[in-house]
Amino acid sequence: MEMDLSQVERALTAELYPENFYAVSSPYNDVAIRGRRIRRADHTMWQSILPEEDEDVDMILASLRASTGHGDRYLTSAIYAHQRLRELPRLKKQQERHFHLDLTRLKAIDAVLCKVDATDADLMAFLDEEITAYLTATRPNQLLPTPAQIRKKINTLIQTRDTSVSEEDSDERPTEFLEVSTDGDSSVLAAGMDTATALEIDARVHAHARAHDLTPVAALVALIRGEGTTDVTLNVYRAHDVPDAPAWIDGVGWITADAAEKLEEMTTSIRDMDLVLGKVSKAYHTPEDIRAAVIGLDGGCSYPWCTRPGSCSQMDHRINFADGGETSSTNLSGLCPRHHNIKTDGRARYIIDPETREKIWLFDNGTWMISQPTGPLAPEQRRWVQTIGQRTQKRRNRIREEAQERKSRKVPHDWGDDPPPF
């Protein structure tokens, strides 16, 4: 008879997670407990079968194909991911305590880290520390970042220390291209261009779509055919009190300092968002500057797991305007139309933490979950940017001090009264 260990695991997990935990590792949810059990077994298996450097990889793969049923591509990526985890001792220790990362997320981490010089001990230690901090729960029932969010975060971390590599995950296509793929009556139009131009096109298309009640595709076709024009505002969020600060753009995320500098050359006006964050409007409809502040705080739709950008969000009054709720960043949240309807219908409601901007979501089935803000104005993101600035300056100071020390060691020889004849 197989013993149901859920109660034991529940108690042990609760001990491991006295306060903060990801929803996937919740000690209070049977599905999460079983999921953690699966991830633990999967992790243990892969770590136990990692080949040594001198082993025949073909023989290893042949054996694993037979015993797992997976193909070479799956197997090699899994091996690479778990080998990479051994190069990140902090993250490995955290993983082996909580088993919160599945193979898909481990593969995402490895794929991005392939860009960096793994022999650079300082860089790897920095990335290990920052990735571990990013993937450590700070609140109970917190949402675990998606593989896409993890890739974005690591790309941003790499760019703060090494701008010699691209922030893009793939460099297979040329920088500029225009392709049409046709399949029967439907086709896909793909284009590659510089970031500033792509963002401008995207903003114009969506602005035209909103103004004329069109789909984005219909708006794009109309603009290309010359059937309309539109003016847009592209909000670029950047700290000006932090050296070499990255910038954040809705729908894109963090971009490098170099890309930010290019976009700033196109800037026509600058807002002090600290002032906007304290602004209160007497109107029900949200002014554009307060909307920009809310998007800068939330980073997109605030509903758990939703990845819709701020441009698709509607402004939701947490306390209804009719009940005295302010039209301000402290009482507004960005929600995509679908999730705005869920909140309006009463199937879900939320509370905003005034200090962290985190939202505690309460669902009508009795469950709850915490969603974290991802925008650049959120307290955690602002602290992170400041930390990066401090790290940058500290690194520069260290390199300068080392150079000065090397210079000081080259003291001119005291030849006394007998200098050399040259």
Do 363 and 274 have their domain in common?
A: yes
Nearest Cα to Cα of residue 357 among 308, 283, 293: 293
Three-state secondary-structure class, residue 315: strand
What are the backbone dihedrals phi and psi of residue 46, each rounded to the nearest 5 degrees, phi first? Answer: -65, -40
Residue that is last in its domain, among 120, 136, 161: 161
Average pLDDT, the chain: 83
Does residue 172 carry a pLDDT above 50?
no
Task: Flag the least confident range among 46-50, 120-124, 207-211, 416-420.
Answer: 416-420
In a domain, 312, yes or no: yes
Does residue 90 carry a pLDDT above 80?
yes
Do 298 and 342 have their domain in common?
A: yes
Does residue 171 carry a pLDDT above 50?
no
Catalogue the E-assigned strands of 323-402. 327-328, 332-335, 348-352, 359-363, 368-371
- What proportion of the chain, given as a percentage, has pLDDT over 90? 38
Helices (H) and strands (E) in the chain, counts: 15, 12
Which tokens go with 188? 């896909």
Q: Where are the alpha helices (DSSP H) in 21-140?
A: 30-48, 57-68, 72-86, 89-98, 103-113, 121-134
Residue that is last in its domain, among 161, 188, 215: 161
Angle at which helices 89-98 and 30-48 pack, to 10 degrees? 140
In a domain, 215, yes or no: yes
Do 29 and 143 have their domain in common?
A: yes
In a domain, 167, yes or no: no
Instruction: Output the CA torsion sign for 345, 351, 352, 358.
Output: negative
Task: Flag the least confident range among 137-146, 239-248, 279-288, 380-389.
Answer: 380-389
* Boundaries of domain holding 191: 177-224
Do 17 and 150 have their domain in common?
A: yes
Do 17 and 146 have their domain in common?
A: yes
Task: Give the pLDDT confidence score for residue 154 in this predicted structure.
Answer: 92
Structural element, H or E, at residue 189: strand 186-192
Do 211 and 133 have their domain in common?
A: no
**Other residues' Cβ atoms within 10 Å of the Cβ of residue 107:** 18
In a domain, 388, yes or no: no
Does residue 38 carry a pLDDT above 90?
yes
Q: Which whole number is the average pLDDT over 227-241?
A: 82
Q: Which amino acid is at 63?
A: S
User: β-strands 280-281, 332-335: how paired?
Assistant: unpaired
- How does pLDDT run across 370-421, given as a tens digit for each residue? 888 989 998 888 776 666 556 655 655 666 666 667 666 655 555 555 555 4
Task: Flag the least confident range among 188-192, 251-255, 324-328.
Answer: 251-255
Residue that is last in its domain, among 106, 130, 161: 161
Which tokens go with 173? 């296509």
Do 12 and 157 have their domain in common?
A: yes
Do 57 and 187 have their domain in common?
A: no
Residue 50 DSSP one-character state: P
Do 220 and 310 have their domain in common?
A: no
Angle at which helices 72-86 and 89-98 pack, to 10 degrees? 110
Task: Give the pLDDT confidence score for residue 392 in this predicted structure.
Answer: 58
pTM score of the predicted model: 0.61
pLDDT category, 58, cuts 50, 70, 90?
Answer: confident
Task: Give the pLDDT confidence score for residue 422 in this predicted structure.
Answer: 43
**Other residues' Cβ atoms within 10 Å of the Cβ of residue 19:** 8
Instruction: Output the CA torsion sign for 198, 200, 205, 209.
Output: positive
In a domain, 182, yes or no: yes
pLDDT category, 247, cuts 50, 70, 90?
Answer: confident
Do 156 and 187 have their domain in common?
A: no
In a domain, 346, yes or no: yes
Do 291 and 333 have their domain in common?
A: yes
Which tokens go with 301? 């739709």
In a domain, 172, yes or no: no
In a domain, 25, yes or no: yes
Counting the structural domains of the chain, the total is 3
Does residue 134 carry a pLDDT above 50?
yes
Task: Give the pLDDT confidence score for residue 396 in this predicted structure.
Answer: 59
Do 132 and 11 have their domain in common?
A: yes
